[in-house]
Amino acid sequence: MENTEKKIGLFSLIGIIISAIVGAGIFSLMKEMANTASAGVTILGWVIAGVGMGSLAFCLENLNSKRPDLDSGIFSYAQEGFGEFMGFNSVWGYWISVIIGNVAFGTLLFSALGYFFPVFEDGQNIPSIIGASIILWLMHFLILRGLDKATLLNTSVMIAKMVPIAIFIVCVIAGFKLDVFTTDFWGNLKSNGQLETSILEQLKGTVLVTVWVFIGVEGAVVFSGRAKKRSDVGKATILGFASVTIIYAIVTVFSYGVMSQAELKSLPNPAMAYVLESLIGKPGAIIVNLGVIISIFGSWMANTLLAEEVAYQAGTRELFPKLFTKENKNDIPINSVIITNLIVQFLLLSFLVTDEAYTMLSKLSSSTILLPYTCVALFQVKLTASTKDKRIKNWLVGIIASIYMFWVLYASGSMYLVLTVMALLPGSIMYIYVKRKNGETIFKNYEKVIFILFIALFVYGLINFKTLVQL
């Protein structure tokens, strides 16, 4: 009988998803949405994001059920459906995205602590980097003690960080004013009755906000190989996504009923603190800043688990070097954890020299998540077609998710495609090394075409580097 003592249960899987998705971003989400959209367009934006990302979540749930053999995270769908090279680029892009996110969590955590302890300033000074490094390695050794202990702590932190968010939701609903909410519902009008910014342009702006805040929805699938019950993976994905979507929509939409769009746009970060402060006074700012600290810690923990696991799974599928697959006595991929956290540590120390490089790295990490998500949607369509599945639902979720991901790529702009390639191409060195070591053919003919296209876009990106940085 399979030993499930150290496996992950349904509640812990949901905790990983919610902790990974609900990070520091939610505490400034109303400001980010107000920067690009009015109250009416914000509602439309969440409906579109809910349908699009919801379809992606159902794709993950369906693929988990139909292809239980693919338990190596979302990149295994790219590898199975579109070849080794696309599978590698998906896992490389995902891994890089999560690592850079962890660097952000380290600096953001001490930026939030700076509200109570000014010595930490903006989270990028020497005391902050020392503090972030200490927490990084404390977290490291905690994870090495076992996945069950790490996920238990993550779940506890997830519950704790939902408390201030719940307080905000109650207060913002109670303080909702319909007249404030309906003012300039579709955006500011010119004297001739036309909108200053079209609804389409406002919607394109919301895409860049909504997609990034849903990163982590795939968390349960990444750990599908370590779940107590395979069916829990699909349940956790849907329940986690639905919970977060409702929370996000309420937090942003109801904020427009407390402050106008112009007021929300002008708020400092974290914007939620100032919205709550306007309703209940100074305690509101204190509650939210404590929430930011707890939330960042939880997201940092969840994303560290995701990063080490996806690198381990890539090693088992011979996309990353074999050293990533070594496990300790607690069944934790020790080398994967060490390498992941060493990279995070290096990037944290780089702030002692300059923080300008991180601006570029952040944009690169954000853009790379689109490739594995798009591959999931397209693989859902391919699998449904190849198995002659007659169920309309499976066709619909695949087609809608695919259309949504292409809409995101269009709304993001062509420069994000270039940024993605600039993040992906350096990883090809590892891919070529692994293929040669295993004595395998490096590229198939169609993969050679993709590789050459990547090189061309990479060169174009280098030439236009200054423009890309200013995006």
φ/ψ of 377, rounded to 5, equals: -60, -45
Which amino acid is present at 310? V
401-432 pLDDT tens trace: 999 998 888 877 777 788 888 888 999 999 99
Cα 272 to its chain centre, rounded Å, is 20
The pLDDT tens digits for 260-312 are: 999 999 988 788 999 999 999 999 989 988 888 888 888 888 888 888 889 99
Q: Are 237 and 217 contacting, i.e. CB atoms less than 8 angstroms apart?
A: yes
Least confident span in 60-69, 191-200, 324-333: 191-200
Tens digits of residue pLDDT in 43-91: 999 999 999 999 999 999 899 888 888 876 678 899 999 999 999 999 9
Look at the pTM and tell me if it is higher than 0.95. no
Percentage of residues of the chain with pLDDT beyond 70 = 92
- pLDDT at 408 (0 to 100): 85
Q: What local confidence, expressed as pLDDT, does residue 450 receive?
A: 93
Domain covering 10-469 in this structure, CATH number: 1.20.1740.10
Give the C-alpha separation, 21 to 251, whole Å.
15
pLDDT in the model for residue 303 = 85
What confidence tens digit (pLDDT) does each residue in 93-113 have? 889 888 888 887 888 788 788
pLDDT digits (tens, 9 = 90+) for 20-43: 788 777 888 899 899 889 999 999
Cβ neighbours of residue 245 closer than 8 Å, sequence gap 6 or more: 46, 49, 50, 53, 54
User: CA separation (Å) from 118 to 112, 115, 122, 131, 243?
Assistant: 10, 6, 9, 14, 35
* Res 366: pLDDT: 67
Which of 191-200, 262-271, 316-325, 432-441 bottoms out in mean pLDDT, i.e. has the lowest?
191-200
**pLDDT beyond 50 at 146:** yes
Q: Residue 60: enclosing H or E segment and its boundaries?
A: helix 39-66
Return the pLDDT at 177: 95
CA terminus-to-terminus distance, the chain: 54
What dihedral angle (degrees, nearest 10) is formed by the CA atoms of 280, 284, 286, 291? Answer: 150
CB 59 within 8 A of CB 398: yes
Q: What percent of the chain has pLDDT over 90?
A: 41
At residue 140, the 3 state secondary structure works out as: helix
Domain residue extents for the chain: 10-469
Q: State residue 364's pLDDT score.
A: 66
pLDDT given for residue 114 in this prediction = 84
Report, as an integer, the average pLDDT of 199-211. 80
Place of tokens 């790219």: 78
Say how far apart CA 292 and CA 270 lie, in whole Å.
8
- CA pair distance 286, 307, nearest whole angstrom: 32
**Pick from 288, 328, 290, 291: nearest CA to 308:** 328
Position 138 scores a pLDDT of 92
